[in-house]
Amino acid sequence: MASDEWTRWLLTRRDGGNAALRAEHATALEVFREEVLDRASLSPADTVLDVGAGTGLIAFGALERLGPDGHVIFSDVSDAGLEECRRRAADDPRCTFVHASAEDLSAVPDASVDVVTTRSVLIYCERKADAFHEFFRVLRPGGRLSIFEPINRFLLEHRPDSLFGLRDPEVADLLAKVVAVYRDGAKRGENPMTDFDERDLLRWAAEAGFDGVEVDYRAQLDVPAEPIGDWTALRNASPNPLAPTYGEAMETALTEEERERLDTRMTQLGQSGTPTRRTLATAYLRALHP
């Protein structure tokens, strides 16, 4: 099956096809996966619905924790992503695959699963409250919800002009132009990636009927982070499935002369090991179906 923008990003555009960047992302993703699954409190015979399964990060992690009577439903809007999961599942009878969005899980019966998980899914949903109502509907009494979301509004509010947290006067003007390509499409209230924060997650869960709602929120502002590294590789990467790569943003925002100047300086910064600064916020939410 032909790929789509979601699966292409997961498989190649997230890391530009670069092995070092892929390994770096994998380390971070493993942390997210384990945190989500720890909060889900899985039992060996549970049925788990992973909403927005992508290429199976959470779902396959759940399978490793379940016993022979456990079951995982891989749900996603991407047929190509589901096909990739089917391939990786290798006919494991504990797996089922459902084409569905988070806001409409009608293919999943009422009160039919023990656990619902998601990771970075609601940032793409226009109707987030509807998604929480669907999570509640499909869970059995006593079922658990465990999700992770980046709180992108935090970056937009605190560092709207930041690219990799760099503060380099030589190319500050060029970085600002590139950042504007991303920022203009992510203004607060105009984009599902930035139209919510951790308080909204808590409210939506409570309004859907969940009990025992807990949100673990963490924010980092200008924390020293890893160097840029291989700029050629990073240039071909994209921050999310709906965004251009950094190279594509440069093509949009800069003249040929400006692109050459930025490429030269970014390569120098990468080779010298100049650190970046991390500004981000994340939230884990867990809740119970009474």
Q: What pLDDT shows up at residue 278?
A: 92
What percentage of the chain carries pLDDT values higher than 90? 74
Q: Kindly list the structural domains of the chain, giving each domain's residue range(s) and its CATH number in brackets, ordered by start.
A: 5-288 (3.40.50.150)
- For 43-79, how does the pLDDT look when each residue is reduced to its tens digit (9 = 90+)? 999 999 999 999 999 999 999 999 999 999 999 999 9
Q: How confident is the model at residue 1 (pLDDT cuts 50, 70, 90)?
A: very low
Of 44-53, 116-125, 152-161, 204-213, the one with minimum mean pLDDT is: 152-161
pLDDT at residue 104 above 50? yes
Provide the pLDDT confidence category of residue 28 given band limits of 50, 70 and 90: confident
What does the DSSP assignment read for 137-177? HHEEEEEEEEEEEE-HHHHHHH-TT-STT---TTTHHHHHH
Question: 121 burial class (0-12, 13-18, 19+ CB within 10 angstroms)?
Answer: buried
**pLDDT over 70 at 189, yes or no:** no
Q: Which residues of 148-183 are buried (b: 16+ CB within 10 A; e: fewer)?
A: bbbbbbbbbeebeebbbbbeeeebeebbebbbbbbb
Mean of pLDDT values over 213-226: 95
As a whole number, the mean pLDDT across the chain is 92
Name the pLDDT band for 186 (thresholds 50, 70, 90). low
Other beta carbons less than 10 A from residue 209's beta carbon: 15
What is the rounded average pLDDT of the residues 74-90? 95
pTM above 0.85, yes or no: yes
Angle (CA) 270 240 147, round 5°: 115
